[in-house]
Structure 1
Amino acid sequence: MTALFEEFSAWLARPWMFTPSGLRARGAWRAWRTILGLHLVVLLLVLLPLLGLWQKAMGLPSPEAFDQVSKAMLVPFVVLLAPVAEELAFRGWLTGRVRALWLVLCGFLTAGFLAMVSLHVYEVPASFAVLGMGIVAPAGWWLLRRRGVLPGFERAFPVLVWLSIAVFGLSHLSNYPKFSLALLPMVLPQIWAGMTLSYTRMRIGIVGSMLIHAAANGISVSLALLGV
């Protein structure tokens, strides 16, 4: 356990690329449980209590993320769909494989086309583009399956990891009705999550990070529903 914490600290100081072991590897589940425990201890005993005081002192609003989803869909969305989608988008490509980066690019393009449809900007061409991406994305993934890591990716890896962590954290500011600088500390739980999930994704694999993400979200939504 001590060795894992030391490795985690060293990895955060300057991230390096692992070959993920997968959850079937010897000791993988023990490592996963240790990372999950660390994640929850810092989240529940340090970050959430301190941020609760900060929110009260600054008169900040509560996040509206749970209000935007119906109660019937709240648990499936927050505990199942969100962890899978967010892990794929923010950490699925951290191995640097060309086909993974291709899927991320296709995902961003699809999101852009969907935004055009919702804003009624070139709505018909954008709708066809969305349909086309459903063909282009898997076709490209299959054609690129033999390609390895993108040249130069490993050299840029530390910056890319911290950039993904920052974007992941700051993207959760959209959960609040309006932005203010006082809200920045409120995304520290997501920044912390980005740190532990990025390490888990690289050391164990994407399924391991999805499971930790789902467990943390499940606890968060339970506390919200209980009014804690």
Structure 2
Amino acid sequence: MTALYHDFAAWLARPHMLTPSGLRARHAGQALLAMLALHLAVLLLVLLPLLGLWQSAMGLPSPEAFDQVSKAMLVPFVVLLAPVAEELAFRGWLTGRVRAVWLVGCGFAAAGFLAMVNFHIYEVPASFAVLGIGLAMPAGWWWLRRRGVVPGFERAFPVLVWLSIVVFALSHLSNYPRFSWTLLPMVLPQLWAGMTLSYTRMRIGIFGAMLIHAAANGISVSLALFGG
């Protein structure tokens, strides 16, 4: 466990591409539990207590993410759907394979066009664009299946990893009813999650990152529902 944590710290200092071992590899389960323990220990014992004091001192609002989902769908959405979608979007492409980057690019493009439809901006063309992307995604995935890593990806990997971590954290500011600079510390849990999940994704694989993400979200929603 100590060696794993030293490796995690060294990887954060100098991110580099790894070949994920997969969940079936020897000691993968132990590594997964060790990263989950570290993730939860920092989250529950350090970040959440400090941020609770910060929120109280600054009079900040509580996040509205849980209020936007019905109670019947809260657990499936937060514990199952969100971890899968967010891991695919923010860390599914970290291996640099062409088809993975293709899928993520199509996903973000589709999300942009859906936002245009939602805000009534060129709704008809945007709707056709979403349909076209939906057809192109699987076709591109099949056509690019034999392609390797995107040229130059490994050189840019450290910047891309930290960019994905920061964007992942900042995206959670949308959980709050209004923006304020004093809210920035409130996404430190997501910044920490981005660090642990990125390393887990590269060392074990995308499913390992999804499992840790789901466990952390499950504890968060339990605290929100039963602990205030």
For Structure 1 versus Structure 2, the TM-score category normalised by the shorter chain is over 0.9
The residue identity in structure 2 corresponding to 1:159 is: V
Q: Match of 1:227?
A: 227
DSSP-derived class of the 2:132 partner: helix
Deviations 1:96-127 (A, max 9, x none): 00000001110011011111111112211211
Does residue 61 of structure 1 match 2:61?
yes
Note the 1:126-137 alignment, pairs <5 A. Answer: 126-137=126-137
Deviates more, 1:190-199 or 1:128-137: 128-137
Does residue 204 of structure 1 match 2:204?
yes
Does residue 180 of structure 1 match 2:186?
no
Q: Match of 1:11?
A: 11
The alignment's TM-score, normalised by the length of structure 2, stands at 0.99
Cα distance in 1 for residues equivalent to 2:177 and 2:125: 32
Q: Match of 2:51?
A: 51
Cα distance, 1:20 vs structure 2: 0.3
Q: Which runs of 5+ in 1 are unaligned?
A: none
Give aligned pairs, total: 228
Q: Match of 1:75?
A: 75
Q: Match of 1:125?
A: 125
Cα distance in 2 for residues equivalent to 1:51 and 1:121: 38
Cα distance in 1 for residues equivalent to 2:46 and 2:121: 45
Cα distance in 2 for residues equivalent to 1:109 and 1:158: 24
The residue identity in structure 1 corresponding to 2:22 is: G
The residue identity in structure 1 corresponding to 2:79 is: V
Does residue 215 of structure 1 match 2:215?
yes
Moved over 2 A (4+): none
Deviations 1:129-173 (A, max 9, x none): 111111101100110000000111001100100000000000000
Cα distance in 2 for residues equivalent to 1:182 and 1:163: 21
The residue identity in structure 1 corresponding to 2:43 is: L
Q: Percent identity?
A: 83
DSSP-derived class of the 2:146 partner: coil
Deviations 1:50-79 (A, max 9, x none): 000000011100000000001111000000
The residue identity in structure 1 corresponding to 2:118 is: S
Q: Which runs of 5+ in 2 are unaligned?
A: none
Cα distance in 1 for residues equivalent to 2:122 and 2:57: 46
Deviates more, 1:120-129 or 1:34-43: 120-129
Cα distance, 1:128 vs structure 2: 1.5
Cα distance, 1:227 vs structure 2: 2.9
The residue identity in structure 2 corresponding to 1:122 is: Y
DSSP-derived class of the 2:128 partner: helix
Does residue 103 of structure 1 match 2:127?
no
The residue identity in structure 1 corresponding to 2:206 is: I
The alignment's TM-score, normalised by the length of structure 1, stands at 0.99
Cα distance in 2 for residues equivalent to 1:49 and 1:222: 16
Cα distance in 2 for residues equivalent to 1:227 and 1:8: 31
DSSP-derived class of the 2:151 partner: coil
